[in-house]
Amino acid sequence: MDGGKAPNRRGNGFAQHAATRDTRLAAIIADLVGAVEAVVVKHRVTRDELSVAMCFATDVGLSTDDRRNEWALLSDATGLTDLIEKIGVDRPMGATAQTMLGPFYRDGAPRKASGDTISIDGIGVPLSFVAHVTDLDGDPVPGATVDVWQANGDGTFENQNPDSQPDYNLRGRFVTDAQGVVTFRTVRPAGYSLPADGPVAALLRALDLSLVRPAHIQFRVAATGFQTLVTHVFDKSDPQIGADPLWCAAPDLLADFGDKTTGFTFKLARARPDHHRR
């Protein structure tokens, strides 16, 4: 191998021998093997390091069961999940950024009228949220469905520990009015830690990366004629805002949760491909 550069012979071999069966699979595996080969050559990976990597993969598998998916957490923590969400939709410039749905979303949240509270138990620091839904020209989008879900002031979602919170606490489904606006009352959420007892957490600690997500409220906004948006709105005052371990916190997804009333404008892209192309 000349100059430490990988020739990608193995990746090319996968493509050549498998292309007649599933060309997309062959192309992906060829590129993946080529990328791994390049890393191995560039960093002169040793047998011992390969053994550590294989043990890590084994541990991830052994830590996965019906209640916990360590492979999904690994995908989240490496930014792969968020990347696939972003490239999966051809979202034009100016549209609110797409983020991952996450493991705590529940379908069937109770329908609420604008101004209602989503805090069933009423525990926490009160917070009012004003959501504006517009198109890319700034015109309101009436009749949009806005799903909301969040953790409580202890950083816990109700489906994480259903014995400690009422069913569907801090969840709701709203519809925007003629001005494209929804308001709701809630409590200020807290950030939370990723599971700290598994191999993914051990990897993050070895890299000196945080396990704690900054406080946020999650939204799913859907309207006829528009791309469905799934996103977060983060508390910009949270000390973890620059270190989200799931790579979702972006400068254009921030709001001030320290005020009694806060808000955010969700800019939807039209579903028609000829509207506001890049």
Same domain, 158 and 26: no
Q: Is 184 helix (H, G, I), strand (E, B) or coil?
A: strand
Give the pLDDT confidence score for residue 28 in this predicted structure. 87
- In-domain check, residue 159: yes
Contact 157, 168 (CB under 8 A): no
Asked if the structure places residue 65 within a domain, the reply is no
Tell whether 61 is covered by a domain.
no
pLDDT for 92 beyond 80:
yes
Entry pTM = 0.86
Q: Is the pLDDT of residue 208 over 80?
A: yes
184 and 139 co-located in one domain: yes
The phi and psi torsions of 270 (rounded to 5 degrees) equal -70, 150
| Angle in degrees, CA 98, 120, 100, rounded to 5 | 15
Do 125 and 24 lie in one domain? The reply is no
Domain count, the chain: 2
166 located within any domain: yes
How high is the pLDDT of residue 144? 98
Q: Same structural domain for residues 195 and 101?
A: yes
Q: What DSSP letter does each residue of 115-156 carry, written as one string? A: T-B--SS--S-EEEEEEEEE-TTS-B-TT-EEEEEE--TTS-
Which residues form the domain of 24? 1-45
What percentage of the chain has pLDDT greater than the value 70?
90
- Categorize the per-residue pLDDT at 177 as very low, low, confident or very high, splitting at 50, 70 and 90: very high
- Distance (Å) of CA 73 to CA 60, 78, 103, 200, 201: 9, 9, 10, 7, 9
On whether both 128 and 181 belong to a single domain, the answer is: yes
Q: 187 in helix, strand or coil?
A: strand
